[in-house]
Structure 1
Amino acid sequence: MALSVELHKKFKGFQMDVAFEHDGGSLGILGGSGMGKSMTLKMIAGLVKPDSGKVIVDGRIVYDSAAKIDIPARERHIGYLFQQYALFPTMTVTENIGIAMKKSGDAKKKEIDRLLEQFALQSLGDRMPNELSGGQQQRVALARILSSEPQMLLLDEPFSALDSFLKEQLLEDMIRQLSDYAGDVIMVSHSRDEIYQFCDRLLILDQGRVIVTGDTKDIFDQPGYREAARLTGCKNITEAIKIAENSIEVPHWHCTLEMDETVADDIHAVGIRAHYIDVLTEKPENMKNVIGVTVENVSELPFEWYCFFRVPNGERIWWKVAKVGEHGAAKYLPQKGAHVYLHMPPQSIILLK
């Protein structure tokens, strides 16, 4: 199914200009707080009216400001899963699932029973929403949406209200439950892990605009833009200046980095993910991309250590190492105050616009 979106809306101190196309599968929208993620879904669904633009779902125009077309939300055949699920509090699980169903009589009962079984809710049909856990409420809400046979599903931060353990379990459940769904799925999240696991394609919003879109794994590997790198979890990002075809000067790290690839003229920053940095006790001869630093702080977490290094008269560089070995000891863990060297392999350096 094809989706074409062009949305423009002005808020106080903020302008949204979002345009993208999506053709099948699951699309993730990633962005910081207040960047327009949820608002994009609401305008696609018809819950909020844009100032101008166009939304086309599978060839059907559901909104076109120029042609004065604005199909009501209930007629767009788009399912919307709210952050708080929005179950009807005075209806049972069975009644909630059946409320939007197009079928009636025995066919309706049979379909409700099928959905109760699909979402492992067979024993909860007579319960009220306030008697359910957060995970159970989410499954009911998703079953209710699918009961209306929508052409598209919009998931608005569906795991934001859940604890981390339950979140991981329900994400796997949702991936399994939607594996047979024929329509497109768009999920908004501020969690890069959720997006990476769930979505084939990724769109990143910044300041109400699309800055990059493409295959999810490709964008995580090469985000292309500084803000996209930050949102995909890169913590070491700094200014850079191209000085030769394969070289960049990094002022705040007081070094020059040599690349295996040609550096484009519009590159103004570099990044490297914390787990790709090699920490060395001595500086090897003839090794490129090595920076001398001081260990500023070491923090222990349950399954890994975080280390902060300081470039003399420069910026911090963040590094992490997993705990390994029989007793949870890392192969090498620098101590606070030590002077060490950081090697940044060329293939692990991210060039950023």
Structure 2
Amino acid sequence: MSLKRTCRRDWGALKVLTICVLACALLACSSAPAAEKDTTVNAVSDSNPVQSKPVSQKQFPPQDHLNKIVAAYNVANEYPALLTELPCYCPCELYGHGGVIDCHRSQHAAMCNICMDEAIEVGEIYQQQLASGEGDIESAQEQVKDRYRRALVAQTAQQFPMMNTQQGQAFLQACSDCHQPPVPALHLPGDWDASLARMEQYARGKDSMPSEQVWQAATEYIKMISAQVPASTVAQYRQSLETTVEHLKHAEGDAAYYPSVRDPVLDPSWAERMVAAYNAARQLPAEILASTPTACQECLDAGNNSILACLNSMQAITCETAIEEVEKLVAEQGQHQ
């Protein structure tokens, strides 16, 4: 039976796919930890203006999540060789990243739990090796790679339809060794060629390109499955990425978003400053934060017009304007006391 005919009949699996792809987006590359209080996320279409959201309570990212950002960038600065050949199992390679080290050349990693978790985990393994005698970079990397590879292959096999076909198995084989298997709802069918070309370039650069037969079957799978995903689901998936990692492309520009090997690892002092600002804001009354407007463009674009709303959102984590505003407000309040 051909893959095309099977696709048309596998509507049950595709209904599951429609539900799970949004979960994949958050699992794959999300900096959306549970807030200190429940928050409501409103998806806004491009055709409607973003409405400001009245906010009166602090719903900051948890302290341990902010501390994780600092820890990840510290590992990248202290042990860059550990991350250089470590593939990132978030879909970072679609954005030109060659490994976890590239995620830390900009603020991208701060918006991606997988990027940070890999850096912290390989750093802990390597430090344990050093404590017991001699560090082995390749061994530490292999332990992390093996765990993520096995977990993501198992997850993908459960979530995506027709994994038992020749094309489905080729898809797993081609994609799981060096990055997360991409979600079919990542692009509309006509937009996949450019993304697949980037994947091929990435795999060839890593010397991990599968055989031409496997690659052809894998690309056939992703194009055929994506053709069965409703355009509305693709739009929802893209919206979920906009609220996690893709807004950095607009904030930093392509030069920062597509880092090269010439770019240095981002100094973790920005993260330490960001955490300090959040800690200081926790001590200020919510009504003061709520009544103070923000000039952070990322927050304004998302309908977050006050410093409080901006701090409650993920945008403030990577917005220097928001951090400067908090620092200024803290200084002003200190003078009034």
Q: Which has the higher contact order (CA 8 A, sep 6+)?
A: 2
- TM-score, normalization: structure 1? 0.22
Return the index of the structure with the highest Cα Rg: 1
Normalized per residue, the structure richer in strand is: 1
